[in-house]
Structure 1
């Protein structure tokens, strides 16, 4: 398979990691064309689909109630859930994006992996145990535990659906392009295939099937990344220092790649991006939902510990892969680099050597080119199958969290006032799954030629600006009220979306306005939008002296006892 084919398969991932908009220029997904099929990749792809459909059939036999559908009946162990969380979190975009950032910027590329990893202690020490003790199916159960159900759950469900939408578009477009290239299908049919498979996993198997798809995907991705990292280190007798020294010698930026400040130059952007990565993790609904799949708070803590272990290990591997690509791809520049042309002739430098104009497909193709360099076509096929598994697992988790927001938070609690039975709630959830699948396919088709990097960026910024402040304040601050939580959430949601649109990553790169015309000067608005959400929650709650607010404050001691001890956690959440 040619390097052009490789570029087309994975060009869609060019900017997905750029949560802070650093890579928002992204790839034009519409440029992907059908190519000669990679039969090794297809064989692995088919094998994965058959195995996971078998798991879905097995899971369907166990999925009888709403609890089975949403949370696998709470029967997932801490180790299994930790691996599934890692599978949900280690996307193909992060695999390619972080290694691509390291390839282009060296040390500074680690800001994303470090930011995401540091988010896990926040969940471990502040959220995991309390979520499991207070919640039932969704994070809105926790946020609305002592608040008025209708406004809190309505906003929480809307926040969930917004985050899910931005993630969903990116994943559906990515999966559609992958299938299109592997099978030579038209894009519209490729997206439909992905949508049907995703609906099968969620509709019939629920959380049980989704969990095992994520576990299998995590194992495959960890195995592939481990092989690549070991293959690179083997070239240097497993001496990382020798690898880094060689990379510094070869890289165009030389010593700069071992210093910070190359990727994000101003401190405000650095802090803001870091905040989005850290606290956005603690506000992602499909991640938070996983803590309700374990039988106890102890298993919830254990699952975070395992997830942190796997994710930390994975990000170490991407660092080695990024530096390995710097060294190994230069050994065969004809295969992996684009020649710099002058008047139709490849340019030659003062030293008489040919001049190259960057990596084929862009810097984020580094890991893909490296997989071909260390393992040939067979390993490239394996990575292709893993990329599809990654996207499918993430889409399934997103669909499940979106379906639960509609069926549990809106239908069962808001519309039916908590009086809906399990069978009706499950039926609504499955109808919602079908609707979300259809919407996802429609959005995937509509956004085929659009840059999707800013949608992933928005998901993290919205999660840290709208979801996390409500969750944090409702659980840990006794004076928080319904009015304060909802007002702060709305401010966080609106400001994060507005400021992101006005930043250069969207205003200029996506909306094609003139360079320098962006109204917001920083890479990420999290430092402003999240702060605004917390301030509004505090001020409005303090000013709220209504009878409802006094009642909510009086309920805090009971909430604190349950959140800390788990006493009564087996009963339905909320009041």
Structure 2
């Protein structure tokens, strides 16, 4: 039986829980006020989905960074580096390189062709209904897996603040986070979410920069001093001794992914998923529809690269600082395990108030990302399935927004349940599963639609469903779901697929299915639309004009 505990007498671990949660609450009230004010101008579906395309490039660049730098980027990567050193930093490298791939291949062409969702692009020169339904499923599952990671991260965050060790108490935290997220989206739509993302991006990067400076001051030197402290801490660590590691291994490649052939293949699979996944993430791509021109889209990209690149460089310092000043044993014994490394480091560097402030910023990170995800998924259901498929484009603006809001509530409830099951997993790893699904189901069809003239509806549908189903089946049959202590179902074992990340198999299958489907299927004979799509994607001419099949 689980017991709800609130340990106010553990100042060494978490400071004063009452003070922590007070600062936390004030932060939530302020951001909710901002969302409410912005939400008063949300009246049409374009406002709800894309903020009426009213944001400047600078604003959107901040919001993209806010959308992309999720709980996985802060909580998960810092924890992964603290425990696995160099191998943990591979998440930072993968996430950042992935962003460059997305910008070079799909960002601007996608923005020039579409209006609200990824399916607008995929269905531009293909048959509307089958492609929109398939794309909506792809969007839904990517968003759901991403949401699971954010929920798990938020549960860990609040549990650390309140020093809640019981499973029931942490589950309650995840539920509360889910309810707050639903309120944010229902009240604010894309405008409110974008403002929170901009504020959160500034606060998160500022907070990480301050923590980096404090870590150097505390280490009485630069990065080498932090490394030396980390080695000393790991030398006395039970965690390292139990796994047969040497203290210096924290600085070497292979601590997590270099021991066996399976782990090496898992690393390749993870790298593929991270590098290719961003270009298929619907909630990131949807951000490009919130600016009025291609010029502003390019400007937002410039800002996003600077902010995201700076952040990921600093995660290296914070990960090793957590290893040096908190230590792997204390991290693993805290509520949330690896996900607690960042808030515990903040406590070591600046005390209880500083930890509460950093945690509040991290919580805003979670809220901003889950709100963006929920809007993307709800837009896909309302715009692509309800309006385009079920109502043949005849639904009213009010009906679409209503369906979107119902979808947000349902999606929130499902993500709360699955987030509770995934609380013991590192959130960076959980996000990598969403990246694997995006790279398997969405990316092949996006690239083929933009750059392959022969591509047809059969190829698109085959690619999406093959990539999506293969990724989901392999995840279910992997050690991430059953067969290990950190699995979603630790007491069961049906894992027959040895890799934790499915990308090595599912991504090639998605690309291959698109080719096979195209050659087996009949041509769509939309040559004029294909030519129009090419002109739009490359020049932005005719962006505002609706496509006519």
Per the shorter chain, which TM-score range?
0.7 to 0.9
1:285 corresponds, among 282, 287, 301, to: 282
For residues 422 and 461 of structure 1, the distance between their equivalents in structure 2, rounded to whole angstroms, comes to: 34
1:559 aligns with 2:538: no
Q: 1-side partners of 2:464 and 2:99: how far apart?
A: 22
Secondary structure of 2:257's counterpart equals coil
Match of 2:254 in 1: 261
Aligned equivalent of 1:6: none
Give the secondary structure class of the aligned counterpart of 2:40.
helix
Matches within 5 A, 1:106-505: 106-175=85-154, 190=173, 193-236=176-219, 238-248=221-231, 251-252=234-235, 253-265=246-258, 266=261, 267-329=264-326, 337=329, 360=334, 362-441=337-416, 447=421, 456-505=431-480
Matched with 1:76 is 55
Q: Distance in 2 between matches of 1:439 and 1:329?
A: 34
Structure 1 stretch 242-251 or stretch 423-432: which is displaced more? 242-251
Cα distance in 1 between the residues matched to 2:173 and 2:253: 41
Query: What's the secondary structure of 2:525's corresponding residue?
Result: helix
SS in 1 for 2:111: helix
Does the C-alpha gap of structure 1 residues 522 and 372 become closer, same or farther in structure 2, counting only changes over 3 Å?
Answer: same
Q: 1:458: how far off?
A: 2.9
The 3 A distance-change label for structure 1 pair 243 and 182 is closer
Q: Does 1:520 align with 2:513?
A: no
CA distance in 2, matches of 1:431, 1:262: 45
The yes-or-no answer on 1:96 pairing with 2:79 is: no
Q: Secondary structure at the match of 2:499?
A: coil
Q: Offset of 1:178 from its aligned partner?
A: 5.0
Q: Bigger CA drift: 297-306 or 428-437? A: 428-437
Asked if the contact 1:157–1:406 (Cα under 8 Å) also holds between the matched residues in 2, the reply is: yes
Paired with 2:81 and 2:169, the residues of 1 have a C-alpha distance of: 34
Instruction: Kindly provide the CA deviation profile for residues 265-298 of structure 1, in whole angstroms up to 9, marking residues without a partner as x.
Output: 2443222111101111111111111111111122
Corresponding residue SS for 1:523: coil
Distance (Å, rounded) in 2 between the aligned partners of 1:513 and 1:40 = 37
Do the aligned partners of residues 424 and 481 (structure 1) sit closer, same or farther apart at CA in structure 2, a change above 3 Å counting? same
Query: CA offsets, 1:29-56, max 9 Å, x none?
Result: x787444362332232222222222212
Q: Does 467-476 or 32-41 show the bigger shift?
A: 32-41
Residues in 2 aligned to 1:365 and 1:441: alpha-carbon distance in whole angstroms: 19
Three-state SS of the structure 1 residue aligned to 2:55 is coil
Q: CA deviation at 1:191?
A: 5.1
For the Cα contact (< 8 Å) 2:274–2:432, is it kept in 1? Answer: no
Kept in 2: contact 1:101–1:109 (CA 8 A) = yes
The alignment's C-alpha RMSD in Å is 2.9
Superposition deviation, residue 238 in structure 1? 4.9
Greater displacement, 396-405 / 503-512: 503-512
How many residues matched? 519
| Pair 394,272 (structure 1): closer, same or farther in 2 beyond 3 Å | same
Provide the rounded CA distance (Å) in 1 between the counterparts of 2:548 and 2:436: 28
CA contact (8 A) 2:127 2:524 kept: no
CA shift digits 1:211-262 (9 cap, x unpaired)? 1111222222222211111011124555323433454455443443333222
Q: Provide the C-alpha distance between the structure 2 equivalents of 1:448 and 1:558, rounded to a whole number of angstroms.
A: 45
Q: TM-score, normalised by structure 2?
A: 0.86
Query: For the structure 1 residues 574 and 96, does the alpha-carbon distance in structure 2 shift closer, same or farther, using more than 3 Å as the test?
Result: farther
- Secondary structure at the counterpart of residue 122 of structure 1: helix
Q: 1:531 aligns with which of 501, 504, 508?
A: 508
Alpha-carbon deviation of 1:398?
1.5
- Paired with 2:519 and 2:204, the residues of 1 have a C-alpha distance of 48
Maintained 8 Å contact 2:79/2:319: yes
Within 1, Cα distance between the matches of 2:399 and 2:23?
39
Take 1:101 and 1:451, find their aligned partners in 2: how far apart are those partners? 11
| Structure 2 Cα separation of the partners of residues 97 and 553 of structure 1 | 46
Q: Does 1:543 align with 2:520?
A: yes
User: 1:61 offset after TM fit, Å?
Assistant: 2.5
Q: Which runs of 5+ in 2 are unaligned?
A: 9-15, 236-245
Does the CA contact (< 8 Å) of 1:480 and 1:553 recur in 2? no
Give the direction of change, closer, same or farther, for the CA distance of 1:543–1:519 in structure 2 (3 Å limit): same
